[in-house]
């Protein structure tokens, strides 16, 4: 386990997470604001192999972890920390649709920020959100990351909001 929150445990992904991982990645509602493309079972299997291999690399670029409930260890979703060459560290999270609206997004976002600052000793954290993703906008508005700007994201053809904490 990497860290925990009041109701959640955050741990490394495992290949045995394939069923709920595919349920999440294959759901068009979940993928709507993250590129919109759903993933096939085969794509999810490859992603899990690649994501779990990242844990053992000396220089880690993308770390994606499983989020599970403490009560029953059910797979709820994933959270991530992406380290960019420019020094930025982006957080992200994604949940199975059946767990939306339970406050898990706020809980894991706050926990991930604390973990990145306190344990990983990062100097900054950024988060980006498509303004149409009302749930994530609400989460980030309540987060420890100050709002920086709104801008047109040409790659995704949307308006994004940027939040950033700097040491």
What does the domain layout of the chain look like in residue ranges? 3-122
Per-residue confidence at 31, pLDDT binned at 50, 70, 90? very high
Instruction: Look up the pTM and report it.
Output: 0.94
Statement: residue 35 has pLDDT above 90: no
pLDDT tens by residue, 78-103: 999 999 999 999 999 999 999 999 99
d(CA 93, CA 105): 7
Per-residue confidence at 111, pLDDT binned at 50, 70, 90? very high
Length of the chain (residues) = 167
Q: Could you give the percent of the chain with pLDDT greater than 90? A: 92
Q: What CATH class is the domain 3-122?
A: alpha beta
Strand order in the sheet with 147-153: 3-4, 8-12, 62-69, 75-83, 89-95, 124-130, 158-166, 147-153
What is residue 60's predicted lDDT score, i.e. its pLDDT?
81
Residue 127 falls in which region: left (phi positive, over 0), alpha (psi -120 to 50) or beta: beta
Q: Could you give the percent of the chain with pLDDT greater than 70? A: 100
Contact 5, 108 (CB under 8 A): yes
Per-residue confidence at 57, pLDDT binned at 50, 70, 90? confident
């Amino acid at each position: 386990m990497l860290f925990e929150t009041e109701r959640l445990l955050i741990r490394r992904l495992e290949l045995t997470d394939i069923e709920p991982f595919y349920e999440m990645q294959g759901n068009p509602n979940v993928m709507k604001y993250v590129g919109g493309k759903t993933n096939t079972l085969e794509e999810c299997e490859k992603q899990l192999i690649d994501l779990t291999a990242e844990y053992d690399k000396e220089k880690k670029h993308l770390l994606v972890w499983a989020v599970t409930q403490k009560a029953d260890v059910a797979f709820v979703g994933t959270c991530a920390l992406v380290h960019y060459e420019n020094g930025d560290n982006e957080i992200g999270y994604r949940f199975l649709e059946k767990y939306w609206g339970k406050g898990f997004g706020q809980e894991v976002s706050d926990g991930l920020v604390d973990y990145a600052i306190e344990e990983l000793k990062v100097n900054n954290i950024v988060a980006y959100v498509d303004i149409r993703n009302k749930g994530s906008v609400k989460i980030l508005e309540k987060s420890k990351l100050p709002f920086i700007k709104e801008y047109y994201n040409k790659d995704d053809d949307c308006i994004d909001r940027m939040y950033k904490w700097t040491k």
